C-alpha cells in the first residue's frame, strides 16, 4: 500500500469492475469516491456523484465488456463528473471492449474501436488508461493521452516462478507474437513458437501450422483474451499431437463467453492464468484450473504516478 495526497484526486468505480476497483483503492490507501449508479424503472442508467469533485483530478474505473450497458455507464459517469466541474477525468478501462473491430476487413463494416474512442473523448475524458489493448494502434484512435499498460510481465513472472522444464512460449496466432515475446522476456530459459491461425467463424478456429519446436517441452500459450476458448483449445490439442509434454495457457482478459469455462475445464490445458481486468472471480463454477492474478498494483501505480506527475514509462519497460 502506498499513500498519495488525498485531497488531489478521487477514484470512482463503475459497476463492471468492483473487485478490481476495491484492490486499486486499497493499493493507493484511499477510499473510493461516492457515486450512485442505479436504474430507472425502464432500465436506463442513472448516475449521481455523491461528493464534491470541483477542481479535482478524477479517475473512473470501468471495463467495457458486453453488455454494452457497461460502456454507456462509463459515458454517463464521465458526463456527470464533467458537469460537476472535475478538473480532469481519466477513464481507466482495464478491459477495452469493441476492440476487435479496429479496421475494416470487409466492405461496409464499422470501425467500432474508433467509435468507442470518439464516444469516450466526447463524453469528457481527458486521459485513458487501459491494459493490453487487443491492438496497440487503438491508442492512436484517441487524441488525448492514452496509456496502454501491460500485464504480460506479471503473467510471465508467475510462470517463471513455476520453474517449468524447457518452457516454450507459443503465440496462438501471428497477432500474439509481440505479447508472447514480452511474456517470454520474463522467462530467460524459454524458447518461442508461433501458430498460423485461420478463423473459420466467430466460434471456430483452425490452428494447424506451427513454426517452432514443442516436442518434449512444456508449452505456455499466450494470448490477449479468451472469448470462446476456441483458439487456445485448438492450439493446445495441436501442440500435444506434436509431442509437447504439458500445456498451460495465459491471457490478460478472461472474457469466457458462453460455455467457454466448461469447454476449457474439459480441455487438456493444465492451468489457465488470467487477470482481474474482468470480474472472473465472480463467475459461478469457476474451474479450479483457472487462476486469477491481480493488475491492481499496476493500475494503482500508474494512477499514483500520473497524480504525482512522475514517469509512467518505467511500468511498460520493467513492470512493477
Alpha-helix runs per DSSP H in 89-175? 112-123, 152-162
125 vs 251, beta carbon nearer ligand R5P: 251
- Regarding 227 and contact with ligand R5P (CB under 6 A), the answer is yes
| Segment lying near ligand R5P (by CB under 6 A), choices 33-41, 66-74, 140-148, 228-236 | 228-236
| Angle at CA of residue 194, ends 112 and 133, nearest 5° | 25
The vertex-230 CA angle with 229 and 233, nearest 5°, equals 80
The residue whose grid cell reads 485531497 is 7
Of residues 197, 217, 270, 318, which has the active-site annotation? 197
Residue 16 is a binding residue for ligand R5P (CB under 6 A)? no
CB of 172 or CB of 297, closer to ligand R5P = 172
Q: Residue 58 forms beta bridges with which residues?
A: 10, 89
Residue 223 touching ligand R5P (CB under 6 A): yes
**Complex with ligand R5P: residue 227 or 304, whichever CB lies closer:** 227
Q: Within 161-180, which residues bind ligand R5P (CB under 6 A)? A: 172-173, 175-176
Is residue 33 at the binding interface for ligand R5P, with CB under 6 A as the rule? no
Q: In the range 177-216, which residues lie near ligand R5P by CB under 6 A?
A: 205
| Residue 197: active-site member | yes
φ, ψ of residue 239 in degrees (nearest 5): -70, -30
Query: Among residues 29, 40, 16, 51, which one has the least CA distance to residue 303?
Result: 29
151, 225, 261, 272: residue in contact with ligand R5P (rule CB under 6 A): 225
Verify binding: residue 226, ligand R5P, rule CB under 6 A: yes
- 8 A C-beta contact, residue 195 and residue 241: no
**Other CB atoms closer than 10 Å to residue 240's CB: what's the count?**
16
- CB of 94 closer than 8 Å to CB of 63: yes
- Which residues are tagged catalytic? 197
Q: Where do contacts with ligand R5P occur on this chain (CB under 6 A)? A: 172-173, 175-176, 205, 223-231
Amino acid at each position: 500500500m502506498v499513500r498519495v495526497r488525498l485531497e488531489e484526486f478521487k477514484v470512482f468505480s463503475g459497476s463492471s469492475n468492483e473487485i478490481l476497483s476495491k484492490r486499486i483503492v486499497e493499493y493507493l490507501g484511499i477510499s473510493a469516491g461516492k457515486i450512485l449508479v442505479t436504474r430507472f424503472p425502464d432500465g436506463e442508467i442513472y448516475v449521481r456523484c455523491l461528493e464534491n469533485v470541483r477542481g479535482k483530478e478524477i479517475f473512473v474505473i470501468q471495463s467495457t465488456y458486453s453488455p454494452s450497458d457497461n460502456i454507456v455507464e462509463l459515458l454517463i459517469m464521465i458526463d456527470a463528473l464533467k458537469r460537476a466541474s472535475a478538473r480532469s477525468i481519466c477513464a481507466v478501462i482495464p478491459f477495452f471492449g469493441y476492440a476487435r473491430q479496429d479496421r475494416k476487413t470487409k466492405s461496409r463494416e464499422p470501425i467500432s474501436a474508433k467509435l468507442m474512442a470518439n464516444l469516450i473523448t466526447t463524453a469528457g475524458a481527458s486521459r485513458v488508461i487501459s491494459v493490453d489493448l487487443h491492438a496497440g494502434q487503438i491508442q492512436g484512435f484517441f487524441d488525448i493521452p492514452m496509456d496502454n499498460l501491460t500485464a504480460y510481465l506479471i503473467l510471465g513472472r508467475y510462470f517463471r516462478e513455476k520453474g517449468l522444464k524447457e518452457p516454450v512460449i507459443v503465440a496462438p496466432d501471428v497477432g500474439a507474437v509481440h505479447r508472447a515475446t514480452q511474456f517470454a522476456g520474463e522467462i530467460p530459459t524459454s524458447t518461442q513458437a508461433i501458430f498460423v491461425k485461420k478463423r473459420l467463424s466467430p466460434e471456430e478456429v483452425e490452428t494447424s501450422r506451427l513454426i517452432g519446436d514443442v516436442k518434449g517441452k512444456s508449452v505456455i500459450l499466450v494470448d490477449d483474451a479468451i472469448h470462446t476458448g476456441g483458439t487456445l483449445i485448438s492450439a493446445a490439442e495441436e501442440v500435444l499431437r506434436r509431442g509437447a509434454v504439458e500445456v498451460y495457457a495465459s491471457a490478460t482478459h478472461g472474457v469466457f463467453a458462453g460455455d467457454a469455462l466448461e469447454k476449457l475445464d474439459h480441455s487438456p490445458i493444465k492451468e489457465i492464468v488470467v487477470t482481474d481486468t474482468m470480474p472472473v472471480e465472480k463467475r459461478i463454477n469457476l474451474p479450479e484450473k483457472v487462476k486469477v492474478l491481480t493488475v491492481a498494483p499496476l493500475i494503482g501505480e500508474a494512477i499514483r504516478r500520473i497524480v504525482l506527475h512522475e514517469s509512467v514509462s518505467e511500468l511498460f519497460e520493467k513492470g512493477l
